[in-house]
């Protein structure tokens, strides 16, 4: 989402980094460019003015002007101020001592609220909770069936027996969840195409009936500045605790994520980063600021890796790789881990230093599926002992996986190269990367 803004800010700050000394004119010019970049990203005007004024004031301070690396100091200031406007305080969900904890989702129709409810339920279950979903959106005809289908996909109960009264549906669902020992109840409420009195009155009644511990406003990040206007309108009638941003993987300019907390004082708690139900992330302002400025996001990358493998699996894989033992069972395990972590493009974007250089690389996700097909066409012995794969075996593997012998050969060579690199690493040597010797 932040690609365009990130490119512009990185270019502006890159120019400052290259200077040995900064003066007021240079900083003022950079602030004008940053202001324009933020406005083009649909960031709220008041937020832009406050942000650039704060950065400029700090950048002209003695700490920066007397620094040996003033450009780097300014980058640090921009990072800190970006983090501040997105919310630097703790924004985790609150859980009651006497379950169930009720989470009420509010928002306009089309914001992705129903899907967000299922994503949040799945995330909470992974965190050891026992969630349930309540269908209280009785306005949109397909909302109940959509939530039921999503609940079936992730094997989380959906309470939807009441179809006429939203308040009764919410109360009955909460009672059912409590009787079945569920410790978290997520209530999906009705939305409208625009804010109106009927919508707000129903929402207030549902809120009063279920007494939620957390109220999350679901906003479509693709709507940019309009999302901030929606947040302000909801804030006048219902005290929401935080924001769940949807469609952060889309072609949005970033205005909503950078403005909503500064304007409403309510933090962004979660961000939906893809269509799959496991693609919901806790929103970390400092990590998002690092992504925008091209610094990567190693912590999120580590968390993703930890989420798809156990500690024992990680230790075993690390030990085998450092011993220079990389067979195709290991290859298959690592490929599957990577696919569970998300798209290759999103993972590349989290790598510090290389994300920007590789962001335009065309990553063919089908290639990963092809690799898996080739490995699965091998016998267990061939996966464990790749050296036994001769010419006839390669032809059989290619035929079984729907690939060519050349593609099988490429995979066999890639495994050899990786094993060679791991052996050199284990001996404390930095290996020469293949393909880095210059053009062929």
Say what the pLDDT of residue 317 is: 61
Per-residue pLDDT of the chain (440 residues; tens, 9 = 90+): 577 788 888 888 888 877 777 788 888 999 999 999 998 888 888 999 999 999 999 888 877 766 667 777 888 888 889 888 888 666 789 999 888 999 999 998 888 999 999 999 999 999 999 999 999 998 887 899 999 999 999 999 999 988 889 999 999 999 999 999 999 999 999 887 777 888 888 999 999 999 999 999 999 888 877 888 888 888 888 889 999 999 887 655 677 878 888 888 888 999 998 888 988 988 888 888 887 777 655 555 555 565 655 666 666 666 666 666 678 887 777 777 766 666 666 665 555 554 454 455 555 567 777 888 999 999 999 988 888 999 999 999 999 999 999 999 988 888 887 777 766 655 654 444 333 333 33
Say what the pLDDT of residue 390 is: 92
Contact 231, 266 (CB under 8 A): yes
Say what the pLDDT of residue 10 is: 82
Say what the pLDDT of residue 154 is: 95
Say what the pLDDT of residue 312 is: 67
Say what the pLDDT of residue 34 is: 92
Give the global pTM: 0.69
How many Cβ atoms sit within 10 Å of the Cβ of residue 351?
15
Spatial distance between the Cα atoms of 306 and 300, rounded to a whole number of angstroms? 10
CATH of the domain spanning 101-291: 3.40.50.300
The domain spans of the chain are 3-86, 101-291, 301-426
| CATH 3.40.190.80 describes domain 301-426 | no
Superfamily designation of domain 3-86: SRP54, nucleotide-binding domain (1.20.120.140)
Spatial distance between the Cα atoms of 133 and 373, rounded to a whole number of angstroms? 37
Spatial distance between the Cα atoms of 398 and 406, rounded to a whole number of angstroms? 9
Pairing of strands 280-282, 268-272: antiparallel
């Amino acid at each position: 989402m932040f690609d365009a803004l990130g490119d512009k800010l990185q270019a502006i700050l890159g120019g400052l980094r290259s200077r040995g000394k900064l003066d007021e004119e240079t900083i003022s010019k950079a602030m004008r460019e940053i202001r324009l970049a933020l406005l083009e990203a649909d960031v709220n005007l008041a937020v832009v003015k406050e942000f650039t004024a704060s950065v400029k004031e700090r950048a002209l301070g003695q700490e920066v002007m007397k620094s040996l690396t003033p450009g780097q100091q300014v980058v640090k200031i921009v990072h800190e101020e970006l983090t501040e406007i997105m919310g630097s305080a703790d924004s985790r969900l609150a859980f009651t001592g006497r379950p169930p904890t009720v989470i009420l989702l509010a928002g306009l129709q089309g914001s992705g609220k129903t899907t967000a409810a299922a994503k949040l339920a799945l995330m909470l279950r992974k965190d050891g909770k026992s969630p349930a979903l309540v269908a209280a959106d009785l306005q949109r005809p397909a909302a109940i069936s959509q939530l039921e289908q999503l609940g079936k996909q992730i094997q989380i109960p959906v309470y939807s027996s009441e179809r006429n009264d939203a308040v009764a549906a919410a109360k009955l669902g909460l009672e059912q969840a409590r009787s079945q020992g569920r410790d978290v109840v997520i209530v999906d409420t009705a939305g409208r195409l625009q804010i109106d009195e009927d919508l707000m009155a129903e929402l207030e009644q549902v809120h009063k009936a279920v007494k939620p511990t957390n109220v999350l406003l679901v906003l479509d990040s693709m709507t940019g500045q309009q999302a901030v206007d929606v947040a302000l309108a909801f804030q006048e009638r219902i005290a929401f605790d935080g924001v769940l941003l949807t469609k952060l993987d889309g072609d949005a300019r970033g205005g909503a994520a950078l403005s909503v907390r500064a304007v409403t004082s309510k933090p962004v708690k979660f961000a939906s980063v893809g269509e799959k139900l496991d693609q919901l992330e806790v929103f970390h302002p400092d990590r998002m600021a690092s992504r925008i400025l091209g610094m990567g996001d190693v912590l999120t990358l580590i968390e993703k890796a930890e989420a798809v493998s156990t500690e024992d699996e990680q230790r075993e894989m690390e030990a085998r790789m450092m011993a220079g033992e990389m067979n195709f069972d290991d290859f298959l395990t690592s490929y599957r881990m990577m696919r569970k972590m998300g798209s290759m493009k999103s993972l590349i974007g989290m790598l510090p230093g290389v994300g920007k250089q590789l962001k335009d690389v065309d990553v063919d996700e089908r290639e990963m599926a092809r690799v898996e097909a080739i490995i699965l066409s091998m016998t267990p012995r061939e996966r464990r002992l790749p050296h036994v794969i001769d010419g006839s075996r390669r032809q059989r593997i290619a035929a079984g996986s729907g690939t060519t012998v050349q593609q099988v050969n490429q995979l066999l060579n890639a495994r050899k190269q990786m094993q060679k690199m791991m052996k050199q690493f284990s001996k404390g040597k930095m290996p020469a990367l293949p393909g880095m010797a210059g053009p062929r």
